[in-house]
Structure 1
Amino acid sequence: MTVEITSPEELRELLGAPMPRALAKERTVLHERDREWLASSPFCLVATAGADGTCDVSPKGDPAGFVQVLDEHTIAVPERPGNRRADGYRNILDNPHVGLIFLIPGRTDTLRINGRARLVRDSPWFDRMVVNGHRPVLAVEVTVEQIFYHCAKAFLRSELWRPETWQPEVLPPRPRLIKEVEAPAESLADLERRYGPDYLKTLYA
């Protein structure tokens, strides 16, 4: 029988009270160590939700330091060429609340920032976001409302950064996945060419 949790009281009874330190670590102003973390991070996840509750989590990646610190309360994440679905961006237009997690490869702790976002189509600081000649056409500007570091347990349990545990071959390569799941009418040869060595040339095109 499935037993559902239906109230905050049930949840707290099951999980217990958070440690005081876990509550006290929340901040609203970027510390110098946060700036250093952002300058060293090449990857983050941006979570959004639409007005109707529809959720999205989008990966963002670039050379380390791609996220700009505008001041002690504000950061900006550049857009890069992608699939143009813009799910997260449309969510931000409906609901400005966002959550971001910043990773540094090999580190088992992460930096989390929650705040309010807006979409910016140009600003002088866009010039600092140019990579491989690509100047972003928009950026997500986030006003920090909550910032703290996550502990390492999830990464230690998953062994995410231990190469000896990696098994990329457990699933077919991306061209075959696309043919089987998304585009059965396309030829595998065409998909293999699209996602072959030349794919790297499209990262900023």
Structure 2
Amino acid sequence: MAPAAVEHPPARLTVLSGPSGVGKGTVVAEVRRRHPEVWVSVSATTRRRRPGEVDGVHYHFVSDAEFDRLIAEDGLLEWAEYAGNRYGTPAAPVRERLAAGAPALLEIELQGARQVRAREADAQLVFLAPPSWAELESRLAGRGSEPPAVQEERLRIAQAELDAAGEFDVVVVNDDVARAADELVGWLTAPSPRSLRSSGAPE
């Protein structure tokens, strides 16, 4: 008699989003450090590289023409314009990962998260929130890489993004990077988005 098949949980597409300055990139970097088995999608962007960023690791830095080509060829799972730059998720690597039965983590902006929710009903949306509005203002002001007008625009957008937290399945507060990273991984491997909504916490 053939051995019974072992059931594995379905591949999970998890989207991490939140306002600018909340520390999405820092939390994802900590996830990579503490949980190297977690696969994180690398977004494409038209914005310029910041000091210390590595092409293909932090982002795929592309020209406007290349980004246009990706859109035309349906090569992006989602894309959005944010603060004058465009960001998008290359579709092929994500689809390959999910087809292999493994979970995938996307770090994207609110517009992109909404696109993924519309296209992938079973995707799990996680909102990364700051401990307080004052803390978020301090983080944005402390970047020092943008003029005041841009920072003001980011704060305006950040407030709108905070107001959208209710659209997400889970809210993770980034009051401690290591704790937030571990909590995110816990949700990444939790059963299903629908059961998450009913239980309110991972088992």
Q: TM-score range by the shorter chain?
A: under 0.3
Higher strand share: 1
TM-score, reference length from structure 2 = 0.26
* Rg comparison, structure with higher value: 1
